[in-house]
Chain A
């Protein structure tokens, strides 16, 4: 009986080996890459294979990743995409600092890029298209450059909230009891969206004398904002709650809107606060320690160019930061951005303090 058991086990083991080989072989087009990659793993352990450019991003969902790989191949680049959430990508880059796997990183917003720059993860490179990008978006020291603009627009669902009853700003949500329990106050502070909203509120109360650079009034406001708002439970989608009326006032992300609206058949009405609407820019940068710096530069030059960004914008309803790509912006995006006035936020001040703010919110306010 034992021998039979062992035979089974060996059989399974053999099966696993076959599966593994199959897994290695199944990506026919990149066979050579795989070969070199596994060789280099065995010997030096460095992930940088000779020809594939490793690209980290948080912007590969909904077919974007596949699209980029395909288009890059047409342009002669062999790239591999590693996708994860913005925070995870940042942490992974930081923990791999001494032996980087990635060559290029894109899609993160400037809060993450500031953190990476501070950790010495990036090397500066001014791509050919740097001047085509709207002013004030690129890093002054050329560490990262803007690709896609996202506006985080406060909105309400007209099915459940009358225009006359709609709030004017985040501050009104916090200060007027009438909105208690009907607006979304996202507390997943690991996510970029929630952090930007916190920054948008707190930055209005900057006070050098106050705790962590924020006045007492600011802290009281954000405390009320979270106490009266509805949190999105794990596994729930903010747009589902917005569409179903569970929390019909919330923050929409411009780049996701088209797909969400179609899916839920819900049309949000936008609110344009006097202070403006927070905007973030997804950027691109080259990773310090890449063994293929030249190729990485070529890739950045190609990917950020007005042609590629324009095609990307047309395909995925994005808002390119490259002004030359404006011709290809979908009507939907231009309409959204037509009325949006960007909020003036001192990002240097925010990136310096955001971790401490999050810590205070988590420990004392939530």
Chain B
């Protein structure tokens, strides 16, 4: 009781004001619009009705989709962690020949995603792709549409979802104190023991957060199942989207979203419990940089090199396919056959002649920058409060901030625009529909859960003693945060910042409901040029936009993320 009292005593007015702000924001933008939607589902007719639930329970397809989503989530937790940890070990821990080249291909998933990534895999493994053609030559009876169903979805997503590992696990790996490894060596530990008993446990908080992220990514998988799943492997989110688009079936969409929500909450409860058990890993104050380990066992060394290069090929092929095919005509794209005549730059010319120059790019860049900046700042604040005050209020906050994770962005967007159509007391009677603000709020809201999870895991990796030392030297909480903690977690923070930024640029699902008519963002431009109603060469244009986005994303990553590391290195040197 005494500690509690003294804790309260220590709280300064700034913290109180910030807390009020957070509570207000969460209520106004996360709870209020969404609870409205859920309420309408069950009380829409005036009385409480379980009809939508009954309808879904009667449908084998709906139940099957839910089970498939959960199955996919479990498979991905295993495969993504396996591949992700391997990538990080190959690039940051083991001494692998040509690691710098490998790294570029391993990082490729950062610069393209969603439909574009699936298109890349389709070009490689699809019916006309080189892999299928090769298999057909080996065995003429090979089924040319072999790449579909659960296997294909899991395969594509396994390699697509390692971006977070490459960013966050790598930075955790780099902050390992090499002295601990040296010490273990001197004590006679084998390389295997060092890896499993010293290195991996240090990565535990990050791995843990990444596991949860992977699980939830698998649970809400949309585009990969749509492209590769076919009829035999359907998942829940595409179904939610279909129902969300029909005014009379919206209740079904909400119930399905609630199912996702319940599974999410169960997983999170498990996670938050484990986080509380303590994952406070010390980072040495006089840290020595990690030195890459040469694998002593010759046979093993060769095997590891082979695996590393196979992964290199798997990661490179879709990117190369996208770049090459973006320069070919539609016949080559659909048939897979490339001849010298197929090459053309018409696709690029079309892209830049059919849109009003670069305006949509600029608008999306500004939204992307502002949105990801604000969401990172907001989540850092929340994560910091959760770390220093672990109580019922912050735990509730933690769960509330996860709401956007289990509602598809379409539903969030509709909720926002319906709610802020009219002046609401909760936002001081401001009307946001039809303003530039609404889309910014939308971007911030959907990126909160991911940002918060990673921020929290970053905070838990900070040595408490460093913080205490700063405080003992008389630094106040704010100063400690800015001058001591922030620099330690900066690589992670910049990683989330760039990922959010990259995610916002091509977004369509959320944008289409919230954008201001006079400020058309990139996602809308792309959709108008390549969507169903467009009769131009949609596939070729899609490839071109993907290449442009890849270049933009690489620029963002290198300016935001690369610069920081460059500065740090220079400082050290």
Contact = CB atoms under 8 A, between A and B. Distances in A.
B535 A231 contact: no
Contacts of A86: 533
Interface in A1-59: 1-2, 4-5, 8, 12-13, 16, 19-20, 22-23, 26-27, 30, 33-34, 37-38, 41, 44-49, 52, 54, 58-59
A31 to B, nearest CB: 11
Q: Which of A19, A83, A97 has the most CB of B within 10 A?
A: A83
Contacts of B15: none
Interface of B: 55-56, 58-59, 61-62, 115, 118-119, 122, 127, 223, 226-228, 230-231, 239, 241-243, 245-249, 252, 330-331, 334-335, 354, 356-359, 362-363, 365-366, 369-370, 373, 413-414, 417-418, 421-422, 430-437, 482-483, 486-487, 490, 512-513, 515-520, 524, 527-529, 531-539, 542, 559-560, 563-564, 567-568, 571
A233 B227 contact: yes
A237 B539 contact: yes
B518 A33 contact: yes
Contact of B366 (A23, A189, A356): A23
Contact of B435 (A41, A244, A264): A41
Given A34-B518, A359-B249, 8 more contacts: A1-B567, A8-B567, A23-B363, A47-B517, A62-B534, A95-B414, A115-B247, A359-B248
Contact of A355 (B246, B363, B418, B567): B246
Contact of B517 (A101, A240, A362): A101
A263 B534 CA distance: 12
Contact of A92 (B417, B483, B532): B417
Q: Which of A26, A66, A88, A240 has the most CB of B within 10 A?
A: A88
A92 B536 CA distance: 25
Interface string A196-229: 0000000000000000000000000000000000
Contacts of A142: none
Nearest to A65: B528
B242 A189 contact: yes
B366 A19 contact: yes
Contact of B571 (A1, A62, A189): A1
A69 B512 CA distance: 20
A363 B512 contact: no
B252 A99 contact: no
Contacts of B432: 45
Contacts of B518: 30, 33-34, 37, 49, 52, 80
Nearest to A226: B231
A63 interface: yes
Contacts of A49: 518
B249 A355 contact: yes
Contacts of A231: 230-231
Contact of B529 (A19, A41, A61, A265): A61
Contacts of A66: 356
A46 B535 contact: no
Contacts of A5: 487, 490, 564, 567
A101 B434 contact: yes
Interface in A171-191: 188-191
14 contacts: A26-B358, A45-B431, A60-B528, A84-B528, A92-B417, A231-B230, A235-B115, A235-B122, A235-B223, A235-B227, A263-B535, A264-B331, A355-B247, A363-B252
9 A-B pairs closest in CB distance: A47-B434, A234-B226, A45-B431, A363-B59, A98-B421, A61-B534, A259-B535, A23-B362, A355-B248
Nearest to A241: B334
Interface of A: 1-2, 4-5, 8, 12-13, 16, 19-20, 22-23, 26-27, 30, 33-34, 37-38, 41, 44-49, 52, 54, 58-63, 65-66, 80, 82-88, 91-92, 94-99, 101-102, 115, 119, 188-191, 193, 231, 233-235, 237, 240, 243-244, 246, 256, 259-260, 263-265, 355-356, 358-359, 362-364, 366
A118 to B, nearest CB: 9
B330 A359 contact: no
Nearest to A33: B518
Given A47-B517, A82-B517, A364-B59, A244 B529 contact: no
Contacts of A355: 246-249
A47 B435 contact: yes
A46 B431 CA distance: 8
A27 B532 contact: no
A23 B223 contact: no
Nearest to A354: B246
A62 B524 CA distance: 14
Contacts of B560: 12
B535 A12 contact: no
Given A38-B436, A62-B536, A363-B58, A19 B247 contact: no
